[in-house]
Amino acid sequence: MEEEKNVAELTIYYKKQRLSTLIFDKQETADKFVEGITRFFNEKGRKEFSFSGEIKTVYTPETIVGQLYDYTEGNVKPQGTILEMMKAIDGLN
């Protein structure tokens, strides 16, 4: 099975409203972006902008099919989003 790849999702808020979401190759890159952009903020900017982040898995057809096959064969437990989908599917049966 293909190795899992993760990315960092960074959501930017302005006055508590979602402004944008950016995807970075890794958490360190997202952290550097936040560090760099906040240097331009004055006091008002620091109060009005906020950030939240999450590590997300990038799925390809191969990783999805591989995880689902391994799950049905009882070889592994799915993780992340696939795990949540499988729990929902199991709940329907």
Instruction: Report residue 80: phi and psi, to 5°.
Output: 55, -135
pLDDT at 36: 95
Domain boundaries, the chain: 1-58, 60-93
Kindly indicate the confidence band of residue 85, based on its pLDDT and cuts at 50, 70 and 90: confident
Kindly indicate the confidence band of residue 58, based on its pLDDT and cuts at 50, 70 and 90: confident
**Threshold 0.75, pTM exceeds:** no
pLDDT at 73: 82
Residue 4 has pLDDT above 80, yes or no: no
User: Can you tell me the distance from the alpha carbon of 38 to that of 93, in angstroms, rounded to the nearest whole number?
Assistant: 49
**Average pLDDT, integer, range 54-68:** 84
Q: Over the stretch 22-57, which tens digit does the pLDDT of each residue have?
A: 999 999 999 999 999 999 999 999 999 999 999 998
SS3 for 15? coil
